[in-house]
Amino acid sequence: MSTMASHFSVSGDYTVHLDDNLHKDAPLLRYMDFNKFKLFLRNGLRLARADVFVKDDPFEGEYTEQVYAISRQVYKEDNGIRTYVSETLKKEVERIRKHAFVSSWALGGSESVAMWRLYGKSDDSVAIKTTVGQIMNEIGYALQKQVTEPANLAKFMKKQIVKVSYIDHRTNDAAKEFLKIDDGKILHYKNVGYRHEEEIRILFDASEQGRGGIAEKTGDACIIPIRQEKLIQEILVSPFACDCFFKSVQDEMERCNLAELVKWSDLKFVPGAEVNTPPAKLRRRVGK
């Protein structure tokens, strides 16, 4: 299991803690449909509350089968009355999910057809290419410079970038270890059935005691303003998209004066094929 090196202060902290097994130069991709992309450009980085993922992934934030088995044998006794851990464990899982916010990215610079289909959701989709370090820097910058309520609330959460570990919730035998982990660390794990995602997770955790009110004020998502030119390396257009959609993506990026960052997916053209890339709008000359 990984550890977070830096100290966190409940009074407020700008630091984004990096998982020990990650490097700042590690490449990341985020696949999304065009509407989500436009919202990203206008509003910033969106971290959704973890409980919204349960619909698509019922294992999200869950303990293992062995943990539940042990919890049926562990109890606290007060005035002769025994309270078994199993009676409260499911409620604890729900509490953690409701007090943590997540943005998911795929590790590596190579694209995945499966991820285009799963998260692009249509032919009109894009993938944002960046690095772990760029995201770390932008979140830290935003929390220091922005005066928005989400940014102010996020200062009081534990902010981490972690590499998800994939486990079999039915057969995993590290139950005793799971019972010792911090609340939010349960969100560092996903079921082995999702291993194809190779997920890197940006996690804002308000689940520890004394921070529950922060998550409630934040709502169902935490949106952090970002500087597009500092976070985005490239915008990759779906290999299944048409030329007119490529041009629409360029037009969106032109609003940020970053149309030249728009590229076709590496999966668009087979070797030897002529690459057809509509030209970006010409920038105005300096002084014009």
Split at pLDDT 50, 70, 90, the class of 281 is low
Q: What percent of the chain has pLDDT over 90?
A: 60
Whole-number pLDDT of residue 282: 45
Tokens of 113: 């057809």
Mean pLDDT check: name the lowest of 161-165, 172-176, 252-256, 274-278: 274-278
Split at pLDDT 50, 70, 90, the class of 283 is very low
> Rounded CA gap, 280 and 134, in Å?
25
The tens digit of pLDDT for each residue in 11-60 reads 567 889 999 999 999 999 999 999 999 999 999 999 999 999 999 999 99
Whole-number pLDDT of residue 183: 67
Whether the per-residue pLDDT at 111 is higher than 80: the answer is yes
Whole-number pLDDT of residue 90: 86
Whether the per-residue pLDDT at 72 is higher than 90: the answer is no
9 vs 269: which has the higher pLDDT? 269
Query: Cβ distance 161 to 138 under 8 Å?
Result: no
pTM above 0.75, yes or no: yes
The CA-CA-CA angle for residues 39, 43, 47, to 5°, reads: 85
Whole-number pLDDT of residue 147: 74
Q: What's the average model confidence in pLDDT over 109-136?
A: 96
Split at pLDDT 50, 70, 90, the class of 221 is very high
Which amino acid is residue 132, in one-letter code? V
DSSP label at residue 261: G
> Rounded CA gap, 261 and 23, in Å?
24
Mean pLDDT check: name the lowest of 82-91, 193-202, 212-221, 264-273: 82-91
> Which uninterrupted H or E stretch holds 140?
helix 132-145
Whether the per-residue pLDDT at 181 is higher than 90: the answer is no
Whether the per-residue pLDDT at 286 is higher than 70: the answer is no
Taking residue 3's Cβ as centre, other Cβ atoms within 10 Å add up to: 9
Q: What is the CA radius of gyration of the chain?
A: 21
DSSP label at residue 251: H
Strand pairing report for 17-18 and 158-163: parallel
